[in-house]
Structure 1
């Protein structure tokens, strides 16, 4: 999980997103939504998540287990706005 930059807690949906940065540590521009099993863009200025693809079920299970099995602290709490749901 070295590429994960932060654990985001969505207070509105009451679930977690794994946030990461494509170009460096200054801002989060991508995320994995564990509740929906999607990966997408994340705008950390406005807390907007736009899913662009679906993960395989086994990948979502593996990531969820990693979070549950490790003592992760929440790096950021917000209410995430979601745009453009990905078709299943």
Structure 2
């Protein structure tokens, strides 16, 4: 798959996940609130995205051939600007 094709696939996954789970900023903020309680320290929505990237990278280190791993890493990275400033119209 070409780089452009790969990025189109990432965009489709983001669209599908948005339809399934709702606004990414809202979801990451909800996860951050839960993790803050669990960890006993404040966690931001941006940190949630970064931790999810780290989780995906750790899994890829174990199985670098897992096809969805790079899609997920790039997808979470692509969400960070949206989480910080909200979606653009």
Structure 1 length-normalised TM: 0.31
Structure 2 length-normalised TM: 0.31
More strand by share: 1
Q: Which of the pair has more CA radius of gyration?
A: 2
More helix by share: 2
